[in-house]
Structure 1
Amino acid sequence: MKRYLESALLACKGGLMIASACTLVLLPMKGVAAVTSESASDKTITLPWVLEKTLLSNPQLQSFPYELRVSEALTLQAGITPNPKLSVELENLLGTGDKQGVENAEVSLGLSQLIELGDKRQRRIDFAHASKRQSLAEYELLRLEVLSQATLSYYQLLRFQALLEWNQQGIQIEQKALKAIELRAKAGAVAKADVTKMALRLMRARSAQQQLEGDIQVAKQRLAANWAGEAHFDRAEGELASLTELPSAADVLNAIETAPQYLQLLSVERLMYAKRRVEESKAQYDITLGMGIRSYDGFDDAALMFNFSMPIPLSNPNQGNILAAKANESLAMEQQKLVRGQLKLTLLEVHQSMVNSARQAELLQKELQPLAQRLLKETELAYQTGQANVLQLADAQSELQNIKRELIEAKTAVYLQKLELERITGQSMSAAHQRQLSHSFLNTEPMMAQENH
């Protein structure tokens, strides 16, 4: 727990992390300590517990500390200045004739220093910092993707749990109907074929129950795979309740400015800008200054010597790299415009789908389901008095069960589409969160944490 909070707060305090990502990263803080112990005892897990477990153990996130160390090392390397050079030169040594031996040797001892011009060192440091921010932006984008995938797996498990309960309710209804038909068959009021038909429907429901139980086991394993573990739990806490408040289209579009994908492209632009500045600084030639001592006539006489050197600026040897850096910077800016337009269209499409699914769920729950329940009751009474046959009773049961199934799927669609909006924008899309967002990111409620999970 401590290691998780430290890693999350480190990026937030450094000012290098997406603001909305900070909100999502600190999701489990309000309830993690409590739910962890509960989950371990009663084998029921919660969404905050899943997100914490995923953040700590997901294989895709484990390499970040090492990548951060690499970035810090490269920043250190960028600030290193050139070391001075020591040179020793011997002339007229071990020759012939007058130059025989070392009596006429000339020894030069020099010390020189390369002086970088054009603010090269600072440009390298700026580029290293931009690279580090780019790595952090990419990591936060990955972190949001991982958390979204874990939440998606959690909702899928809730969906299968709801379908299992739905099917169990259908089994109970059909068991009750079968008993009633058997009683009427003993009295000779219905044919044995009616009993067989209802028994067949009951067996089909039990077969579907077995299939759903298997699907739940698969969903558990898929959820546990988010933290590279095994499914040592029985069920996920919560249900797919109807969402009373949905974000407006305006709220969704306002979140484009803080969308992780968009901010990641902004960091790419800053990186390309820093790269161009580095290449431009290389166009400024460096100079080398040196001084030393030279001895003459077998070390009897000595004199000071000074040295200065620099390239002759006949042309810019780095002009190709500068043009390439400018082109990459322009490309990053153009990609921002394209992604911004694509994000707008995608968010509007997902938002409209979410609204449609929410309307469908409301219609099913408030109008169609009550009608189907009334139809089933009326058909049961009619069947008991001989005014309806077994096919009509079975159709009434199927009608109610189908509506309940459609309601589960519609609610699931709302949650998944809302999750997709949050994945794209990196923000919670609850209406309460959107009201608080105008004041401060730090006061936002955790994503989905207030939605009966």
Structure 2
Amino acid sequence: MVTPFFTPTRFVRHTHCGFKKLIFICLFIGWQISFAQAESTNNTLTLNTALKRTIEQNPSLKVFDFRNTALNGQMKIAELKPAYELGFEAENFSGSNEFSGFDGAELTVSLSSVLEMGDKRAARRGIVSSGRSVLDAQRQVESLELLGEVTRRYVDVLAVQEQVSLAKEANELAGETLNIVKKRANAGATPDAEVKRAQAAAAQARLTLLSTQQQLDYLKVSLAALWGDTSPNFARVEGDLYHFGTDVEFNTLFAKMEKNPAIRIFAAEERLRDAEIRVAKTQSKADISWSVGVRRFQANDDSALVAGFSMPLFSSSRNSGAVSTALAQRNEIYVQKEVALLSMHTQLFRAFHNRRQAIIAAKELQSTIIPALSDALKETQTAYQRGRYGYLEYVSARQELLNARRTLIESASSALTYGTEIEQLTAEPLSATQYGDSTKFSGSVR
């Protein structure tokens, strides 16, 4: 098995090393499907290729580049110091008597600004930095969801490929049955009504094959749409539908789930709320407005310096409401985190046990049920040809085998799909051993 080593530079550009590692982990979501090669060859698509194309071309992740640019602009604004203002003031002009005209005017040119108190600029920068952490966590969650969807659609295509193969075998089997019935009818050993029933069964098998092929075409289009292709350029996908790997204990999975980026978003949002609290508290410290300038007295051609300052009173009490609001919003994050953990625990528990049940069903079908039904069909067909069984027993044996094989495909597909859900919740592969080469796996993630 070849493990991928792909770095999606477009999305790592503005993130930390943790996001790079997450992308590597994402590339293994759903890898309970085994692969013989890393790239698609001979018009065959691998999961690795599908994931790479999606990371490179899906537009849903591109919005984070624009959001990051917006944060860069907000940081520039947050780092700005208070602006300087140039002022001009004229007094005692255009009045009456000695104040008529500008002879008695007083002209003042001043420079003014504000002294920010309480380190407000650092608090503003803290909000933007915390907002960037939230953005990075959101990018990771979106990446996990997107790559998980790629894997689910890939599994759907893989399962329907198996169903198409089964439908072809059923069609061939129906044709063989029709030939056997015709031979018996020609020999006078069976009525013509059975020939007509066999003809109808063969026609239904052809319709089932056609319907399954159309479903496969749709699912391939649905998969290709994730990287922006409207028509798939692959004929089939590669993988082993019946390779499930080893189980991992539920408590171990739950411990990993608590490190999911969806949970880390709450930690990032908590830091953002803390930054907002710091900003609210800095507003309780009043800024000092100052000005300095030169005043000219036109009446005697004298000049003098002027200076002044001002500050609002009772800023702390007037800002108490904003601080209380910021504290309440931060405390709300704690509650939302607990709710999310409970919901994800339920999802993980459901996926864990459904996957285990699907694997049990698939293995039982493979090892016991399908071999027994295959032997039964052979014996029934031989007995029917010798006239010991009727047509109904023969068709029933054939249908039981086909139904069991369809159930096997559905069980295997469910096991892989639930495995993908578990990996998305934990942001880690279920087990390195399920990929056949744990050394390659662990080495590529480091």
- In the other structure, the counterpart of 1:286 is 287
2:39 matches 1:35: yes
* 1:153/1:222 contact within 8 Å kept: yes
Deviation at 1:298, TM superposition (A): 4.0
* 2:7/2:24 contact within 8 Å kept: no
2:308 matches 1:304: no
Pairing of 1:1-16 with structure 2 (within 5 A): 5-12=8-15, 14-15=16-17
Amino acid of the residue matched to residue 23 of structure 1?
I
Amino acid of the residue matched to residue 131 of structure 1?
G
For residues 417-439 of structure 1, the C-alpha deviation after alignment (integer angstroms, 9 at most, x for no partner) is 011112222222234489x99xx
- In the other structure, the counterpart of 1:427 is 428
For residues 136-169 of structure 1, the C-alpha deviation after alignment (integer angstroms, 9 at most, x for no partner) is 2223222222222222111111111110101111
* CA pair 414-25 structure 1, distance change in 2 beyond 3 A: closer
2:25 matches 1:23: yes
2:193 matches 1:190: no
- In the other structure, the counterpart of 1:353 is 354
Deviation at 1:234, TM superposition (A): 1.9
Where 1:35 maps in the other structure, the secondary structure is: coil
Q: TM-score if structure 1 supplies the norm length?
A: 0.88
Aligned equivalents of 2:20 and 2:255: distance in 1?
16
Deviation at 1:392, TM superposition (A): 1.2
Deviation at 1:369, TM superposition (A): 0.9
* CA pair 165-441 structure 1, distance change in 2 beyond 3 A: closer
Aligned equivalents of 1:202 and 1:65: distance in 2?
56
Amino acid of the residue matched to residue 35 of structure 1?
E
- In the other structure, the counterpart of 1:258 is 259
2:80 matches 1:80: yes
- In the other structure, the counterpart of 1:322 is 323
Deviation at 1:267, TM superposition (A): 1.6
* 2:12/2:20 contact within 8 Å kept: no
Amino acid of the residue matched to residue 426 of structure 2?
T
Pairing of 1:398-437 with structure 2 (within 5 A): 398-432=399-433
Greater alpha carbon shift after TM alignment, 291-300 vs 257-266: 291-300
For residues 271-319 of structure 1, the C-alpha deviation after alignment (integer angstroms, 9 at most, x for no partner) is 1111111111111100123322222244622222221211122752221
Amino acid of the residue matched to residue 162 of structure 2?
A
Greater alpha carbon shift after TM alignment, 172-181 vs 256-265: 172-181
Aligned equivalents of 2:315 and 2:431: distance in 1?
63
Greater alpha carbon shift after TM alignment, 394-403 vs 170-179: 170-179
Where 1:291 maps in the other structure, the secondary structure is: strand
Greater alpha carbon shift after TM alignment, 384-393 vs 112-121: 384-393
- In the other structure, the counterpart of 1:337 is 338
* 1:247/1:431 contact within 8 Å kept: no
- In the other structure, the counterpart of 1:370 is 371
Q: TM-score if structure 2 supplies the norm length?
A: 0.89
Deviation at 1:221, TM superposition (A): 1.9
Pairing of 1:47-126 with structure 2 (within 5 A): 47-126=47-126
- In the other structure, the counterpart of 2:236 is 235
- In the other structure, the counterpart of 1:246 is 247
* CA pair 406-85 structure 1, distance change in 2 beyond 3 A: same
Deviation at 1:203, TM superposition (A): 1.5
Query: What's the RMSD between the two structures over aligned residues?
Result: 2.7
Structure 1 unmatched ranges of 5 or more: 446-453
2:203 matches 1:199: no
Greater alpha carbon shift after TM alignment, 380-389 vs 402-411: 380-389
Aligned equivalents of 1:295 and 1:158: distance in 2?
88
Where 1:130 maps in the other structure, the secondary structure is: helix
Aligned equivalents of 1:77 and 1:26: distance in 2?
40
Aligned equivalents of 2:414 and 2:140: distance in 1?
26
Greater alpha carbon shift after TM alignment, 308-317 vs 46-55: 308-317
* 1:194/1:390 contact within 8 Å kept: yes
* CA pair 346-369 structure 1, distance change in 2 beyond 3 A: same
- In the other structure, the counterpart of 1:152 is 152
Deviation at 1:388, TM superposition (A): 1.4
* CA pair 53-16 structure 1, distance change in 2 beyond 3 A: same
Where 1:94 maps in the other structure, the secondary structure is: coil
Aligned equivalents of 1:379 and 1:364: distance in 2?
20
Deviation at 1:95, TM superposition (A): 3.2
Structure 2 unmatched ranges of 5 or more: 1-5
- In the other structure, the counterpart of 1:380 is 381
Deviation at 1:103, TM superposition (A): 3.2
* 2:291/2:309 contact within 8 Å kept: yes
Aligned equivalents of 1:433 and 1:65: distance in 2?
35
Aligned equivalents of 2:275 and 2:442: distance in 1?
29
Amino acid of the residue matched to residue 39 of structure 2?
V
* CA pair 442-124 structure 1, distance change in 2 beyond 3 A: farther
Amino acid of the residue matched to residue 160 of structure 1?
V
Where 1:295 maps in the other structure, the secondary structure is: strand
Aligned equivalents of 2:299 and 2:126: distance in 1?
52
* CA pair 111-22 structure 1, distance change in 2 beyond 3 A: farther
- In the other structure, the counterpart of 1:449 is none
Deviation at 1:10, TM superposition (A): 2.1
Where 2:94 maps in the other structure, the secondary structure is: coil
Aligned equivalents of 1:126 and 1:314: distance in 2?
22
For residues 387-410 of structure 1, the C-alpha deviation after alignment (integer angstroms, 9 at most, x for no partner) is 212211111111111111110000
* CA pair 6-59 structure 1, distance change in 2 beyond 3 A: closer
Where 2:289 maps in the other structure, the secondary structure is: strand
* CA pair 25-284 structure 1, distance change in 2 beyond 3 A: farther
* 1:16/1:136 contact within 8 Å kept: no
- In the other structure, the counterpart of 1:451 is none
Aligned equivalents of 1:151 and 1:245: distance in 2?
19
Deviation at 1:375, TM superposition (A): 0.6
* CA pair 399-418 structure 1, distance change in 2 beyond 3 A: same
Aligned equivalents of 1:34 and 1:325: distance in 2?
50
Deviation at 1:65, TM superposition (A): 1.6
